[in-house]
Amino acid sequence: MITRLEDIVDRARQGPKRTVVVPMADDLEVLQAIKMAMDQGLIDPFLLGPKKKIEVLLAQVGLVVSPDRIVDEELSTKAATLAVDLVKHERGAILMKGLLSTADFLRPIVNKDNQLVKNGLLSHVALIQSPYYHKLLCITDAAMNIQPGFVEKVKIIENAVGLLHSLGNSLPKVAVLGPVETVNHKIESTEHAAMLSQMNREGQMKECLVDGPLALDNAISMEAAHHKGIKSEVAGDADILLAPDLNSGNILYKSALFLGGSSAAAIIAGARVPIVLTSRADSSLSKFYSIALAVATFD
Protein backbone atom coordinates (compact mmCIF):
# COMPACT_ATOMS: atom_id res chain seq x y z
CA MET A 1 0.00 0.00 0.00
CA ILE A 2 1.37 3.36 -1.01
CA THR A 3 0.83 6.07 1.57
CA ARG A 4 4.09 8.02 1.44
CA LEU A 5 6.48 9.18 -1.26
CA GLU A 6 9.11 6.77 0.08
CA ASP A 7 6.69 3.94 -0.73
CA ILE A 8 6.83 5.07 -4.34
CA VAL A 9 10.62 4.87 -4.28
CA ASP A 10 10.33 1.35 -2.83
CA ARG A 11 7.90 0.33 -5.53
CA ALA A 12 10.18 1.79 -8.22
CA ARG A 13 13.10 -0.15 -6.74
CA GLN A 14 11.24 -3.44 -7.10
CA GLY A 15 11.02 -3.29 -10.89
CA PRO A 16 13.76 -3.26 -13.51
CA LYS A 17 15.76 -0.11 -14.21
CA ARG A 18 14.15 2.23 -16.75
CA THR A 19 15.99 4.44 -19.19
CA VAL A 20 15.32 8.15 -18.75
CA VAL A 21 15.92 10.24 -21.87
CA VAL A 22 16.82 13.87 -21.14
CA PRO A 23 16.98 16.41 -23.98
CA MET A 24 19.31 19.32 -23.17
CA ALA A 25 20.71 17.56 -20.12
CA ASP A 26 23.18 20.38 -19.44
CA ASP A 27 21.34 21.29 -16.23
CA LEU A 28 23.05 20.82 -12.89
CA GLU A 29 19.91 20.22 -10.86
CA VAL A 30 18.43 17.76 -13.31
CA LEU A 31 21.70 15.80 -13.29
CA GLN A 32 21.72 15.84 -9.48
CA ALA A 33 18.25 14.29 -9.46
CA ILE A 34 19.34 11.77 -12.11
CA LYS A 35 22.28 10.84 -9.88
CA MET A 36 20.02 10.29 -6.87
CA ALA A 37 17.79 8.00 -8.94
CA MET A 38 20.83 6.11 -10.29
CA ASP A 39 22.25 5.72 -6.79
CA GLN A 40 18.95 4.10 -5.81
CA GLY A 41 19.19 1.75 -8.78
CA LEU A 42 16.03 3.10 -10.40
CA ILE A 43 17.21 4.29 -13.79
CA ASP A 44 19.79 4.47 -16.55
CA PRO A 45 20.25 7.85 -18.22
CA PHE A 46 20.30 8.77 -21.89
CA LEU A 47 21.51 12.36 -22.19
CA LEU A 48 21.18 14.66 -25.18
CA GLY A 49 22.61 18.16 -25.49
CA PRO A 50 25.93 20.02 -25.70
CA LYS A 51 28.28 17.14 -24.88
CA LYS A 52 31.23 19.14 -23.51
CA LYS A 53 29.01 21.07 -21.14
CA ILE A 54 27.21 17.93 -20.03
CA GLU A 55 30.53 16.22 -19.29
CA VAL A 56 31.70 19.13 -17.13
CA LEU A 57 28.46 19.00 -15.14
CA LEU A 58 28.62 15.20 -14.83
CA ALA A 59 32.08 15.54 -13.29
CA GLN A 60 30.76 18.20 -10.95
CA VAL A 61 27.90 15.98 -9.82
CA GLY A 62 30.21 12.95 -9.58
CA LEU A 63 28.23 10.95 -12.08
CA VAL A 64 29.66 8.48 -14.59
CA VAL A 65 27.67 7.93 -17.79
CA SER A 66 28.94 5.74 -20.59
CA PRO A 67 29.86 7.84 -23.66
CA ASP A 68 27.41 6.02 -25.95
CA ARG A 69 24.62 7.32 -23.70
CA ILE A 70 25.51 10.95 -24.37
CA VAL A 71 24.44 12.38 -27.73
CA ASP A 72 26.02 15.68 -28.74
CA GLU A 73 23.35 18.14 -29.89
CA GLU A 74 23.48 21.91 -29.61
CA LEU A 75 19.94 22.65 -30.77
CA SER A 76 17.18 22.17 -28.21
CA THR A 77 14.41 21.53 -30.77
CA LYS A 78 16.53 18.81 -32.35
CA ALA A 79 17.38 17.31 -28.98
CA ALA A 80 13.68 17.14 -28.12
CA THR A 81 12.85 15.43 -31.42
CA LEU A 82 15.71 12.97 -30.96
CA ALA A 83 14.54 12.17 -27.45
CA VAL A 84 11.06 11.33 -28.71
CA ASP A 85 12.58 9.17 -31.48
CA LEU A 86 14.54 7.22 -28.89
CA VAL A 87 11.39 6.57 -26.88
CA LYS A 88 9.43 5.58 -30.00
CA HIS A 89 12.13 3.04 -30.84
CA GLU A 90 12.02 1.73 -27.29
CA ARG A 91 15.50 2.85 -26.46
CA GLY A 92 14.05 4.93 -23.63
CA ALA A 93 11.10 4.49 -21.28
CA ILE A 94 10.75 7.90 -19.64
CA LEU A 95 11.16 11.45 -20.95
CA MET A 96 12.58 14.14 -18.69
CA LYS A 97 12.85 17.83 -19.52
CA GLY A 98 16.32 19.33 -19.38
CA LEU A 99 17.40 22.93 -19.99
CA LEU A 100 14.94 23.87 -22.73
CA SER A 101 11.61 25.61 -22.86
CA THR A 102 8.56 23.57 -22.00
CA ALA A 103 7.12 24.40 -25.42
CA ASP A 104 10.20 23.04 -27.24
CA PHE A 105 10.23 19.97 -25.02
CA LEU A 106 6.57 19.15 -25.54
CA ARG A 107 6.28 19.93 -29.28
CA PRO A 108 7.43 16.53 -30.59
CA ILE A 109 5.55 14.77 -27.79
CA VAL A 110 2.18 16.26 -28.75
CA ASN A 111 2.91 15.97 -32.49
CA LYS A 112 0.19 13.62 -33.69
CA ASP A 113 2.54 11.83 -36.10
CA ASN A 114 4.39 10.46 -33.11
CA GLN A 115 1.22 8.97 -31.58
CA LEU A 116 2.51 9.47 -28.08
CA VAL A 117 -0.58 11.08 -26.53
CA LYS A 118 -3.11 8.46 -25.42
CA ASN A 119 -6.48 10.14 -24.94
CA GLY A 120 -5.69 13.40 -26.66
CA LEU A 121 -4.72 15.34 -23.56
CA LEU A 122 -1.61 15.65 -21.43
CA SER A 123 -2.09 16.80 -17.86
CA HIS A 124 0.03 17.56 -14.83
CA VAL A 125 -0.47 15.17 -11.93
CA ALA A 126 1.18 15.91 -8.60
CA LEU A 127 1.29 13.61 -5.60
CA ILE A 128 1.76 15.46 -2.37
CA GLN A 129 2.65 14.10 1.03
CA SER A 130 1.21 16.47 3.58
CA PRO A 131 1.73 16.45 7.35
CA TYR A 132 -2.00 17.29 7.51
CA TYR A 133 -3.40 14.35 5.52
CA HIS A 134 -3.53 10.64 6.17
CA LYS A 135 -2.34 9.51 2.74
CA LEU A 136 -0.85 10.78 -0.48
CA LEU A 137 -3.02 13.35 -2.19
CA CYS A 138 -3.10 13.77 -5.93
CA ILE A 139 -3.60 17.33 -7.21
CA THR A 140 -4.45 17.97 -10.83
CA ASP A 141 -3.95 20.08 -12.93
CA ALA A 142 -1.43 22.52 -11.45
CA ALA A 143 0.67 23.27 -14.49
CA MET A 144 -0.66 22.46 -17.95
CA ASN A 145 -4.31 23.02 -18.80
CA ILE A 146 -5.35 26.65 -18.40
CA GLN A 147 -9.13 26.57 -18.55
CA PRO A 148 -10.19 22.98 -19.09
CA GLY A 149 -13.74 22.51 -20.28
CA PHE A 150 -15.92 19.59 -19.30
CA VAL A 151 -14.47 17.23 -21.91
CA GLU A 152 -10.93 18.08 -20.89
CA LYS A 153 -11.79 17.50 -17.24
CA VAL A 154 -12.96 13.97 -18.05
CA LYS A 155 -9.52 13.33 -19.56
CA ILE A 156 -7.68 15.00 -16.68
CA ILE A 157 -9.52 12.70 -14.28
CA GLU A 158 -8.74 9.67 -16.47
CA ASN A 159 -5.06 10.55 -16.48
CA ALA A 160 -4.89 10.92 -12.69
CA VAL A 161 -7.00 7.81 -12.07
CA GLY A 162 -4.77 5.85 -14.46
CA LEU A 163 -1.72 6.96 -12.51
CA LEU A 164 -3.20 5.83 -9.19
CA HIS A 165 -4.31 2.52 -10.75
CA SER A 166 -0.73 1.93 -11.82
CA LEU A 167 0.34 2.56 -8.22
CA GLY A 168 -2.07 -0.11 -6.96
CA ASN A 169 -5.10 1.98 -5.94
CA SER A 170 -7.91 0.23 -7.81
CA LEU A 171 -10.72 2.64 -6.88
CA PRO A 172 -9.39 6.18 -6.39
CA LYS A 173 -11.74 8.72 -4.86
CA VAL A 174 -11.94 11.89 -6.92
CA ALA A 175 -13.15 15.12 -5.34
CA VAL A 176 -14.17 17.70 -7.93
CA LEU A 177 -13.41 20.97 -6.18
CA GLY A 178 -15.55 24.08 -6.14
CA PRO A 179 -15.95 26.97 -3.74
CA VAL A 180 -19.32 25.64 -2.52
CA GLU A 181 -21.11 22.28 -2.27
CA THR A 182 -24.13 23.26 -4.32
CA VAL A 183 -24.53 23.54 -8.07
CA ASN A 184 -24.60 27.22 -8.97
CA HIS A 185 -25.06 28.31 -12.57
CA LYS A 186 -22.84 31.35 -11.91
CA ILE A 187 -19.93 29.07 -10.96
CA GLU A 188 -18.96 26.81 -13.85
CA SER A 189 -16.75 24.59 -11.69
CA THR A 190 -19.84 23.49 -9.75
CA GLU A 191 -21.71 22.64 -12.96
CA HIS A 192 -18.77 20.62 -14.24
CA ALA A 193 -18.58 18.87 -10.88
CA ALA A 194 -22.22 17.85 -10.99
CA MET A 195 -21.88 16.52 -14.53
CA LEU A 196 -18.71 14.58 -13.74
CA SER A 197 -20.23 13.05 -10.60
CA GLN A 198 -23.33 11.97 -12.45
CA MET A 199 -21.29 10.48 -15.32
CA ASN A 200 -19.43 8.43 -12.77
CA ARG A 201 -22.62 7.24 -11.07
CA GLU A 202 -23.96 6.16 -14.44
CA GLY A 203 -20.84 4.16 -15.16
CA GLN A 204 -19.31 6.42 -17.80
CA MET A 205 -16.10 6.85 -15.83
CA LYS A 206 -15.17 3.53 -14.36
CA GLU A 207 -12.86 2.27 -11.64
CA CYS A 208 -13.05 5.44 -9.59
CA LEU A 209 -15.52 7.28 -7.37
CA VAL A 210 -16.22 10.87 -8.39
CA ASP A 211 -18.07 13.38 -6.24
CA GLY A 212 -18.50 17.12 -6.27
CA PRO A 213 -18.74 20.00 -6.07
CA LEU A 214 -16.86 19.77 -2.81
CA ALA A 215 -15.03 22.67 -1.24
CA LEU A 216 -11.50 21.73 -0.24
CA ASP A 217 -12.27 21.41 3.46
CA ASN A 218 -15.00 18.87 2.83
CA ALA A 219 -12.89 16.96 0.31
CA ILE A 220 -10.07 16.28 2.77
CA SER A 221 -11.47 16.68 6.27
CA MET A 222 -13.91 14.06 7.57
CA GLU A 223 -14.68 16.38 10.48
CA ALA A 224 -15.57 19.29 8.18
CA ALA A 225 -17.71 17.01 6.01
CA HIS A 226 -19.57 15.58 9.03
CA HIS A 227 -20.04 19.08 10.40
CA LYS A 228 -21.64 20.14 7.15
CA GLY A 229 -23.76 16.97 7.01
CA ILE A 230 -22.25 15.84 3.72
CA LYS A 231 -22.84 12.20 2.84
CA SER A 232 -20.29 11.06 0.32
CA GLU A 233 -17.81 8.25 -0.04
CA VAL A 234 -15.30 10.77 -1.32
CA ALA A 235 -15.67 13.58 1.23
CA GLY A 236 -12.91 13.62 3.82
CA ASP A 237 -11.03 10.82 2.11
CA ALA A 238 -10.21 12.04 -1.39
CA ASP A 239 -7.29 10.52 -3.29
CA ILE A 240 -7.51 12.98 -6.15
CA LEU A 241 -8.41 16.66 -6.07
CA LEU A 242 -9.54 17.98 -9.44
CA ALA A 243 -8.97 21.73 -9.43
CA PRO A 244 -11.44 23.98 -11.27
CA ASP A 245 -8.71 25.44 -13.51
CA LEU A 246 -5.02 26.33 -13.71
CA ASN A 247 -5.31 29.38 -11.44
CA SER A 248 -6.72 27.29 -8.62
CA GLY A 249 -4.71 24.12 -9.33
CA ASN A 250 -1.43 25.99 -9.28
CA ILE A 251 -2.36 27.79 -6.07
CA LEU A 252 -3.48 24.54 -4.42
CA TYR A 253 -0.26 22.73 -5.32
CA LYS A 254 1.98 25.59 -4.24
CA SER A 255 0.00 26.21 -1.10
CA ALA A 256 0.49 22.58 -0.06
CA LEU A 257 4.24 23.01 -0.59
CA PHE A 258 4.86 26.57 0.61
CA LEU A 259 2.09 27.07 3.18
CA GLY A 260 1.76 23.44 4.21
CA GLY A 261 5.14 21.75 4.47
CA SER A 262 4.27 19.09 1.89
CA SER A 263 6.71 17.14 -0.26
CA ALA A 264 5.77 16.40 -3.82
CA ALA A 265 6.35 14.27 -6.88
CA ALA A 266 4.83 15.18 -10.22
CA ILE A 267 4.60 13.83 -13.73
CA ILE A 268 2.88 14.70 -16.95
CA ALA A 269 0.35 11.96 -17.58
CA GLY A 270 -1.60 11.08 -20.70
CA ALA A 271 1.30 10.05 -22.91
CA ARG A 272 2.37 6.50 -23.70
CA VAL A 273 5.45 7.10 -21.57
CA PRO A 274 5.67 8.97 -18.28
CA ILE A 275 7.07 12.47 -18.62
CA VAL A 276 9.07 14.21 -15.92
CA LEU A 277 8.76 17.95 -16.24
CA THR A 278 10.00 19.54 -13.07
CA SER A 279 10.44 23.26 -12.66
CA ARG A 280 13.43 25.22 -11.48
CA ALA A 281 11.60 25.93 -8.24
CA ASP A 282 11.32 22.24 -7.33
CA SER A 283 13.81 20.91 -4.80
CA SER A 284 16.20 18.19 -5.96
CA LEU A 285 14.43 15.79 -3.61
CA SER A 286 11.16 16.63 -5.33
CA LYS A 287 12.80 16.07 -8.74
CA PHE A 288 14.09 12.71 -7.52
CA TYR A 289 10.63 11.71 -6.25
CA SER A 290 9.22 12.66 -9.64
CA ILE A 291 11.66 10.35 -11.42
CA ALA A 292 10.80 7.59 -8.95
CA LEU A 293 7.09 8.18 -9.62
CA ALA A 294 7.68 7.83 -13.37
CA VAL A 295 9.50 4.52 -12.79
CA ALA A 296 6.85 3.27 -10.37
CA THR A 297 4.02 3.71 -12.89
CA PHE A 298 5.28 0.73 -14.91
CA ASP A 299 3.47 -2.43 -13.89
Q: For a copy of itself, which stretch binds (CB under 8 A), given 113-121, 142-150, 267-275, 285-293?
A: 142-150
For residue 60, the number of C-alpha atoms closer than 13 Å in the C-beta half-sphere is 13
When asked if residue 251 is in the footprint of a copy of itself (CB under 8 A), the reply is yes
**Beta partners for 18?**
43
Position 152 contacts a copy of itself (CB under 8 A): no
CA proximity to 144, closest of 156, 154, 160: 156
Among residues 191, 224, 284, 298, the one that binds a copy of itself under rule CB under 8 A: 224
Give the x/- contact pattern for a copy of itself in 163-192, rule: CB under 8 A: --------------xxx------xx-x---
Determine if 249 is a binding residue for a copy of itself (CB under 8 A): yes
Mark the segment that binds a copy of itself (CB under 8 A) among 15-23, 40-48, 111-119, 138-146. Answer: 138-146
What dihedral do alpha carbons 219, 224, 228, 232 form, nearest 10°? 40
Nearer to a copy of itself, 15 or 261 (CB): 261
Residue 39 to residue 61: CA distance in whole angstroms: 12
Name the DSSP letter for residue 117: B
Residue 5: CB partners within 8 Å, gap ≥ 6? 127, 129, 136, 263, 264, 265, 289, 292
Q: Which residues, other chains included, contact 63 with Cβ-Cβ below 8 Å and sequence gap of 6+?
A: 31, 34, 35, 38
Interface pick for a copy of itself out of 10, 77, 78, 260 (rule CB under 8 A): 260
Interacting residue with a copy of itself among 30, 127, 196, 215 (CB under 8 A): 215
250 binds a copy of itself (CB under 8 A): yes
Looking at the Cβ atoms of 39 and 223, the one nearer to a copy of itself is: 223
Judge contact between 276 and 290, C-beta under 8 A. yes
Residue 102, interface with a copy of itself (CB under 8 A)?
Answer: no
Distance set, CA 246 to CA 27, 58, 115, 142 (Å) = 27, 35, 26, 6
Contacts with a copy of itself by CB under 8 A lie at 130-133, 137, 142-143, 146-147, 177-179, 186-187, 189, 215-217, 220-221, 224, 227-228, 243-252, 254-262, 280-281
